């Protein structure tokens, strides 16, 4: 891989993790502050409204993923006219979607109290909250074009630095207004306004980085059909993701209460933080895969798939070990001991299945980059439907734990029984070879951390941030030394032969130079 491309990957991943670290730290310390200032019921409504408006992501229709893929393709081929058509057609479509989303918000706000078990005294607040968040999401559709363009250009550092500034500013403003006695709606106004301003800044920067004109004259049906042919499948994946991960709060609020949403969200949010660490790494693999596929670099696709998943496993395995062993202590230090008994089982159930998924986070990105994600989308949709059905069936007899089981069981089945087999078949790699090359080293490196965490917990159980810091410092040192061994011995980047005899790809075009085994 060329030196400049390596530097870009390091810059993108580095700034992604800085942005993620900022977001996780702010969220980790800000969430309990908001929870204790607003109370369980109001916080549950906060989570519910954002879960409802999260379904507006279905209106995306997969266009954002299309922008990333086709802008990356245009960059690889140097076709600015093609980029102009993609961006302009997407912008026009998103503007129409945004207007429709706003109408949906108006309709939902009128009947919110009759749909969910919200305390009567919170009806007006919940309606205004929905109007504010829904309006911001509607504006986010056309403004979000810039994010897709920057991803397609692999300019993640721009996205990350603007995210860092927005996150820190949001935290400062929320703390100030809550200390001055303001309530839920003021916090919501800050939360929804800053992303809109951030998108405007990103739009200016994307325009400068991609010198491609845009306007109504570049909007055409042929480009729309091309976007639709790719985004139609992606749309199924978006629907599936909402069913898999964003239906829990709605189901719990419908069959239990907004307070139960709070207990569930505590465990689920910690798992989300863990997932964001891996997702911030995996996001770079879509444009990388699309670029390689456009240039016929099949060998490089193999390396992105295997080494990408290896690094995802390097990231999620120690996090999973820490949360399994110290999850109760994390919840106690974060929001208080009274939430531990109800929230820790949710955390544990969701964490184990999510770890299986996140250890393969590069797999889905490779499929998206190659444009071969149709089968995966169908399987995800089936999983999402089963998820909702199981969650509804289990939430009444078993409460929030039943809902967690309904989410985790189908996810585990998909990630074990389908995804690795499908990718190995698509890329013509033996399953045994893939599992060995991707996961054996991460398991070896993580094993000492597990032993140290168990030994430390037998010595003393942490109850606050200071005691947790001691455990994490020791575990982090052990893991750092293990990773140092993996990299200094060059095992972390080393790959054995990946090709399966008799299942070779067609050779890339002769004018395209394929790269070495190093990624």
Tens-digit pLDDT string for the chain (519 aa): 455 556 666 676 677 768 777 877 787 777 777 777 777 777 777 777 777 776 666 666 667 767 777 777 677 666 677 777 778 888 888 888 888 888 888 888 777 766 666 777 777 778 888 888 888 888 888 887 777 778 777 777 787 888 888 888 888 888 888 888 777 778 888 888 888 888 888 888 887 777 766 767 777 777 777 677 666 666 666 677 777 777 787 888 788 877 788 888 888 888 888 887 787 777 777 667 776 666 666 777 778 888 888 988 998 999 999 999 999 999 998 888 888 898 999 999 999 999 998 998 888 887 777 777 778 888 888 888 898 899 999 988 998 899 999 989 999 999 898 888 888 888 888 888 888 888 999 999 999 999 999 998 888 888 888 888 999 999 999 999 999 998 888 887 777 666 554 444 433 333 333 232 233
Smallest CA-to-CA distance from 438 within 452, 428, 424 is with: 424
Spell 70-106 as b/e; 16+ CB within 10 A means b.
bbbbbbeeeeeebbbbbbbbbbbbbeebbeebbebbe
Q: Beta-carbon neighbour count of residue 451 at 10 Å?
A: 12
pLDDT at 10: 67
Tokens linked to 15: 């700034």
pLDDT at 95: 86
pLDDT at 473: 92
> Which positions ≥6 away from 480 have C-beta within 8 Å?
none
pLDDT at 348: 92
pLDDT at 517: 28
Question: Are 372 and 422 contacting, i.e. CB atoms less than 8 angstroms apart?
Answer: no
| CA separation for the pair 362, 284 (Å, rounded) | 9
- Please state whether the predicted TM-score (pTM) of the whole model is above 0.85: no
Smallest CA-to-CA distance from 186 within 198, 202, 170 is with: 170
Question: Are 155 and 15 contacting, i.e. CB atoms less than 8 angstroms apart?
Answer: no
pLDDT at 320: 92
Query: Which residue in the block uniquely carries the two structure tokens 């706003």?
Result: 102
pLDDT at 98: 85
Domains of the chain, residue spans: 1-30+53-231
| CA separation for the pair 383, 365 (Å, rounded) | 19
């Amino acid at each position: 891989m060329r030196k400049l491309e390596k530097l870009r990957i390091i810059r993108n991943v580095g700034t992604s993790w800085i942005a993620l670290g900022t977001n996780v730290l702010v969220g980790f310390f800000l969430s309990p502050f908001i929870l204790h200032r607003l109370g369980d019921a109001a916080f549950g409504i906060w989570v519910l409204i954002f879960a409802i408006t999260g379904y507006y992501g279905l209106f995306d229709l997969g266009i954002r993923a299309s922008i990333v893929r086709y802008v990356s393709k245009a960059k690889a081929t140097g076709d600015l006219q093609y980029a102009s058509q993609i961006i302009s057609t997407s912008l026009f479509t998103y503007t129409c979607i945004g207007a429709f989303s706003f109408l949906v918000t108006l309709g939902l706000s009128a009947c919110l109290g009759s749909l969910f078990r919200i305390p009567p005294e919170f009806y007006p607040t919940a309606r205004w909250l929905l109007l504010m968040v829904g309006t911001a999401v509607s504006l986010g559709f056309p403004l979000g074009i810039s994010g897709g363009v920057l991803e397609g250009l692999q300019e993640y550092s721009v996205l990350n630095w603007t995210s860092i500034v927005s996150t820190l500013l949001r935290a400062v403003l929320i703390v100030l207004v809550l200390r001055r006695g303001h309530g839920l709606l003021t916090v919501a106004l800050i939360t929804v306004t800053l992303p809109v301003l951030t998108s405007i800044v990103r739009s200016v920067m994307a325009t400068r980085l991609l010198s491609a004109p845009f306007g109504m004259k570049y909007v055409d049906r042929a480009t729309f059909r091309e976007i639709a042919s790719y985004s139609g499948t992606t749309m199924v994946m978006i629907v599936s993701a909402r069913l898999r991960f964003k239906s829990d709060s709605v189901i719990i609020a419908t069959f239990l209460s907004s307070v139960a949403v709070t207990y569930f969200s505590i465990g689920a949010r910690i798992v989300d933080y863990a997932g964001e660490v891996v997702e911030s790494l995996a996001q770079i693999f879509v444009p990388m895969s699309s670029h390689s596929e456009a240039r016929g670099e099949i060998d490089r696709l193999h390396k992105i798939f295997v080494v990408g998943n290896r690094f995802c496993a390097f990231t999620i395995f120690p996090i999973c070990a820490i949360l399994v062993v110290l999850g109760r202590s994390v919840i106690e230090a974060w929001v208080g001991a009274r939430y531990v008994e109800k929230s820790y089982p949710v955390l544990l159930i969701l964490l184990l299945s999510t770890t299986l998924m996140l250890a393969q986070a590069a797999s889905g990105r490779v499929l998206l980059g190659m444009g071969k994600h149709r089968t995966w989308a169908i399987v995800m949709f089936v999983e999402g439907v089963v998820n909702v059905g199981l969650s509804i069936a289990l939430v009444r007899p078993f409460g929030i734990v039943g809902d967690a089981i309904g989410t985790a069981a189908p996810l585990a089945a998909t990630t074990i029984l389908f995804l690795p087999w499908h990718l190995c078949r698509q890329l013509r790699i033996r399953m045994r070879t893939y599992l060995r090359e991707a996961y054996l080293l991460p398991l070896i490196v993580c094993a000492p951390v597990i032993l140290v965490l168990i030994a430390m917990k037998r010595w003393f159980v942490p109850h606050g941030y200071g005691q947790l810091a001691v455990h994490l410092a020791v575990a982090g040192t052990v893991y750092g030394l293990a990773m140092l061994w993996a990299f200094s011995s060059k095992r972390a980047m080393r790959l054995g032969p990946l090709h399966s005899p008799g299942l070779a790809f067609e050779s890339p075009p002769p004018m395209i130079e394929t790269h070495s085994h190093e990624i």
